[in-house]
Structure 1
Amino acid sequence: MNVLVKSATIVDPKSDFHNQTVDILIEKGTISQISKRIQNSKNYKEIRRDNLHVSQGWFDSSVSFGEPGYEERETIANGLDTAAKSGFTAVAVNANTNPVIDSYANISFLKSKAEKHAVNLYPIGALTKHSDGIDLAELFDMKTAGAVAFYDYQHPIANPNLMKLALQYASNFKGLVCSFPQESKISGLGVMNENVTSTSLGLKGNPALAEELQVARDLFILEYTEGKLHIPTISTAKSVELIRAAKQKKLDVSCSVAIHNLIFTDEHLKTFNTNFKVLPPLRTQKDIDALISGVKDGIIDMVTSDHNPIDIEDKKIEFDYAKYGTIGLESAFGALNSIFTIKKTVELLTNGRERYAVDTTPIAVGNSANLTLFNPNSTYTFTKDHMFSRSKNAMFEGHNLKGNVYGIIANNQLVIQ
């Protein structure tokens, strides 16, 4: 693939051309020249867009696609196309499929389905067999096959000894163990944040305590085992402080937050719109303020769309019975860019690569082109026209966003809108 990107402002602190508006010549998938003005002497395809900005390709650490088993929600092929159109050149895909991704063969299947695509798929293997929380899965075999982490998606590990064994065993090959932050006996049958809002709506509450107890427990176990732990999608102010204290102790812990938990409060559930039913649940403004502060000061290492397509039959039903989840790849950039600077937004969308052992490629001559192309200043209302997923369960539908994605250049391919 040969292409000339014209008048693009580079947003990449690791590049010598950071904050400069330049032309970028890409030949056979490699950046061959970066300059103020490049003549198109070979008549390559040119990319010109309004207010064009370019950064390193974005990465999402928590994406669900459904296939195998739930293709009615999303397929791998369409999921990767959605990621590309949303600006992501790499995604880590969860194991919540049928069958659960818990073996060498399952990991190999995922990787084979993503071959030759512009977006790189990085499988996350289940931490326990069938994600049932009883016995550890084949962690080392999955690592050998290409798994970048181990996580029973949204299934907490109830047995603390099992978590201890997982951290100890995975440390032998520097495996990243993920633990969903929820104590199920405390959360019970709660379907939203336990608060005055849940009482007024007559819905069972899932208290912040359920998350914070699990986070505290896992951090104690981490300190004992000296393992490598990632806590995905925290949602409370206290969780931020617990992880802050752990990092001050130099424990090997990282955490993420779902983008919607930085924007929406439990007040949005007053209409009983099941697109707002997510796990962990939407919390309070106090929690949002603490989470945003945690993002800004680096206690929260990365953000995720926590993209989770759910078919209409499992969403357009009574709130108590609706499944948890919202799609989020398509709205990720516009939502983040609405609350952070463009520099911080791009930083957050690329931060998780190192933790998940995903290659980082600065924008420099001689490097492979792994780029996201976007306009940070456009504003629009997010509608179904902006959704590329097969499922349309979007929490951000009808909300104003800032910034749109033009496409990506990655794996010697161009995906452009």
Structure 2
Amino acid sequence: MNILLKSATVFDPKSTHHKKTVDVLIENGLISKIDNSINCPQNCEEINLENLTISNGWFDASVSFGEPGYEDRETIENGIQVAAKSGFTQIGLNSNCYPFTDSKSMVNYLKTKASGSPVTIYPIGSLTKKSEGKEIAELYDMQQAGAIAFNDYKKGIKNANLVKIALQYTQSFGGLVMSYPNNCNISGEGIVNEGISSTHLGLKGIPALAEELQVSRDLFLLEYTGGKLHIPTISTAKSVALIKEAKSKGLQITCSVSADHLTITDEELKSFDANYKIAPPLRTQSDVEALIEGLKEGTIDFITSDHDPIDIENKKLEFSNAIDGSIGLESLFVSLQETLGLELIIEKLTTIPQTIFGLKTSTIKEGEKANISLFTTKGTGTFTLNNILSTSTNSAYLGKKTTGKVYGTYNNGILTLA
């Protein structure tokens, strides 16, 4: 599809057109011309969007859909449309399905299912077979098929020796091990952050210690073995400090944070709304401030939506019985602008995460493949059910303020508008 983006402000520090308002002509999937004013040629659609800004396509490294196995939560087909309309051109797809993504055949299935779509899917394979934490999965074969990392999604691995072996083994082919930061023995039957809010509400708490012990253990293992380790969705101030210290030692350690943990605290739990039941649990305001500072100083490498659709039968229950999880693709950009600012958001959604996962980075210049997110930084509003595109509606951000708007994406020769 050939398109002409009119009066688009480019936000790409690597581009000579950075912060300039130009016309961008895209033909056969490539950026063919960038100029102050371009006339629309034949067989080309002119796109005029109010206060349009464009950047390199956003990458979300933690997305779950459900298919196969949980299609009632989200199908791959609809999930791809949700991602594209939310500004994402590339996603890391978690092994949060059944059967688990723990083999070469499952990686191939997911890539085939998403081929020819406006969003490029990069499967994240299970670290262990069936994500049971007992035996290493087919890591090398999965990487050869296209898996970009290995993680037992939302499951802290109890066996430290298994993580040690995984870190040693993956060095032979440059694999990236991900380890979810939760010590199951400490978190026990807790369902929310242990603190003043959990005590007032009479809810079983998960102490910050459960996360920090696991982070500390994995960092000791990494220092012993070498290799590459990524810790997804950290949520406490102490975790930031531990990872900052590890980076100062030169360890190959990276980490991420979810948008919800940058914008919402455990104060929201007083409503007993199960949409606020997520993992890791929502923490305190001081934790949120430490996470934001960790992003700004570079200790935290990137942001994810941690998009996790849960069907209404498993979410609209008493708080203690509901399944953890919140969708986040639709709300990520509009929730963070006031907190982080555009420059930091784009940095944490583009070059840095792509580099960590070994993906090709692009820039907005003539001759490059068009991999573009379209949005505006203008306007405010409230995030409501009308803003949700997912099959499931379990959003922790419902009812909260938004800034800006996502228009859509252009990727793989396909324009997708919200």
In the superposition, the TM-score normalised over structure 2's length comes to 0.99
The reply to whether residue 322 of structure 1 matches residue 325 of structure 2 is no
TM superposition shift of 1:358: 2.1
2:378 counterpart SS class: strand
1:72 and 1:226 mapped to 2: Cα distance? 41
1:410 aligned partner: 411
Counterpart AA for 2:178:
C
Once the two structures are overlaid, the 10-residue window that deviates more, 101-110 or 357-366, is 357-366
Q: Give 4+ residue runs of structure 1 displaced > 2 Å after superposition.
A: none
Q: Which runs of 5+ in 2 are unaligned?
A: none
TM superposition shift of 1:41: 3.7
1:35 aligned partner: 35
1:192 aligned partner: 192
TM superposition shift of 1:360: 1.1
TM superposition shift of 1:227: 1.0
Considering only aligned residues, what root-mean-square deviation do their CA atoms show, in Å?
Answer: 0.8
TM superposition shift of 1:354: 1.1
Matched ranges for 1:87-106 at <5 A: 87-106=87-106
Q: 1:335-387 CA deviation, whole Å, 9 max, x = no partner?
A: 11121111111112213111112221100100010001101112111111111
1:394 aligned partner: 395
2:348 and 2:381 mapped to 1: Cα distance? 22
2:43 and 2:183 mapped to 1: Cα distance? 60
1:107 and 1:41 mapped to 2: Cα distance? 41
1:335 and 1:172 mapped to 2: Cα distance? 40
Q: 1:105-155 CA deviation, whole Å, 9 max, x = no partner?
A: 111111011010010000000000000000000000101111000000000
Matched ranges for 1:287-366 at <5 A: 287-350=287-350, 351-366=352-367
Matched positions, count: 417
Contact kept, 8 Å, 2:2 with 2:43, in 1: the verdict is no
Contact kept, 8 Å, 2:85 with 2:407, in 1: the verdict is yes
TM superposition shift of 1:407: 0.9
Q: 1:7-50 CA deviation, whole Å, 9 max, x = no partner?
A: 00000001110000000011111001111111224362111111
2:383 aligned partner: 382
TM superposition shift of 1:66: 0.4
Counterpart AA for 2:398:
E
- Identity among equivalent positions (%) equals 54
Contact kept, 8 Å, 2:31 with 2:367, in 1: the verdict is yes
2:43 and 2:154 mapped to 1: Cα distance? 50
Q: 1:294-337 CA deviation, whole Å, 9 max, x = no partner?
A: 00011000000000000001111111111000000000100111
2:62 and 2:143 mapped to 1: Cα distance? 17
Once the two structures are overlaid, the 10-residue window that deviates more, 224-233 or 343-352, is 343-352
TM superposition shift of 1:169: 0.4
1:115 aligned partner: 115
Once the two structures are overlaid, the 10-residue window that deviates more, 375-384 or 35-44, is 35-44
1:172 counterpart SS class: coil
1:305 and 1:336 mapped to 2: Cα distance? 11
1:371 aligned partner: 372
2:110 and 2:252 mapped to 1: Cα distance? 28
Matched ranges for 1:13-412 at <5 A: 13-42=13-42, 44-350=44-350, 351-412=352-413
2:367 and 2:19 mapped to 1: Cα distance? 20
2:344 and 2:210 mapped to 1: Cα distance? 30
Q: Which runs of 5+ in 1 are unaligned?
A: none
Counterpart AA for 2:366:
V
